[in-house]
Chains A and B, each alone.
Chain A
Amino acid sequence: MNAKPTIVNESTIEFDKVTYSFQGSSPNTVVSDISLKVNPAETLVLLGRSGSGKTTLLRLVNRLLLPTGGQVLVQGQATSEWDPIPLRRKIGYVIQEGGLFPHFTIAENIGLVPKLEKWDGDRIAKRVSELLTLVGLEADRFASRRPHELSGGQRQRVGVARALAADPPILLMDEPFGALDPVTRAELQREFRSLARRLGKTIVFVTHDVREALLLATRIVLLERGHIVTSAPPEEFLHVDHPEVQAFALSLGALPGATA
Chain B
Amino acid sequence: MSPWRFFHEHSAEILEATLTHLTLVLVAMAFAIAIGVPLGLLIVHRPALRNLSLGIASVLQTIPSLALFGFLIPIPFLGGIGRRTAIVALVLYALLPILRNTYVGLTGIDHAVLDAAEAMGMTTAQIMWQVRLPLALPVILAGIRTATIITIGVATIAAAIGAGGLGTFIFRGVAMVSDAVILAGAIPAALLAILADVFLGWLERRLRVA
Complex contacts, B134 vs chain A, CB 8 Å:
103
Min distance, Cβ B135 to any Cβ of chain A, angstroms: 6
Once A64-B118, A88-B119 are accepted as A-B contacts, the answer to whether A148 and B112 lie under 8 Å apart by CB is no
Tell me whether B116 and A100 are in contact (CB under 8 A). Answer: yes
Q: Mark B109-142, 1 if CB is under 8 A from A, else 0.
A: 0101101111111110010000100110000000
In the complex, what residue of chain A is closest to B117 when comparing beta carbons? A101
Contact of A93 among B113, B116, B131 (CB under 8 A): B116
Complex contacts, A5 vs chain B, CB 8 Å:
none
Contact of B121 among A96, A116, A172 (CB under 8 A): A116
Q: Mark A120-163, 1 if CB is under 8 A from B, else 0.
A: 00000000000000000000000000101100000000000010
- The verdict on B210 contacting chain A, using a C-beta distance below 8 Å, is yes
Interface residues on chain B, number (Cβ under 8 Å): 18
B123-163: which residues lie under 8 A (CB-CB) from chain A? 123, 126, 131, 134-135
Complex contacts, A84 vs chain B, CB 8 Å:
121
Once A99-B113, A102-B135, A103-B209 are accepted as A-B contacts, the answer to whether A93 and B126 lie under 8 Å apart by CB is no
CA distance in complex: A86, B110 (Å): 24
Q: Mark A214-257, 1 if CB is under 8 A from B, else 0.
A: 00000000000000000000000000000000000000000000
In the complex, what residue of chain B is closest to A83 when comparing beta carbons? B121
Interface residues on chain A, number (Cβ under 8 Å): 27
Tell me whether B121 and A88 are in contact (CB under 8 A). Answer: yes
Min distance, Cβ B45 to any Cβ of chain A, angstroms: 16
Once A101-B131, A102-B135, A148-B210 are accepted as A-B contacts, the answer to whether A116 and B116 lie under 8 Å apart by CB is no
- The verdict on A97 contacting chain B, using a C-beta distance below 8 Å, is yes
In the complex, what residue of chain B is closest to A88 when comparing beta carbons? B121
Tell me whether B120 and A102 are in contact (CB under 8 A). Answer: no
- The verdict on A183 contacting chain B, using a C-beta distance below 8 Å, is no
A90-114: which residues lie under 8 A (CB-CB) from chain B? 91, 93, 95-103, 112-113
Min distance, Cβ A146 to any Cβ of chain B, angstroms: 7
Tell me whether B121 and A95 are in contact (CB under 8 A). Answer: no
CA distance in complex: A116, B110 (Å): 22
Known A84-B121, A116-B122; 17 more pairs at CB < 8 Å? A64-B118, A64-B119, A85-B123, A87-B121, A98-B116, A99-B112, A99-B113, A99-B116, A101-B117, A101-B135, A102-B135, A102-B209, A112-B120, A113-B120, A116-B121, A146-B209, A148-B209
Residues of A at under 8 Å CB distance from B?
62, 64, 84-89, 91, 93, 95-103, 112-113, 116, 146, 148-149, 162, 172
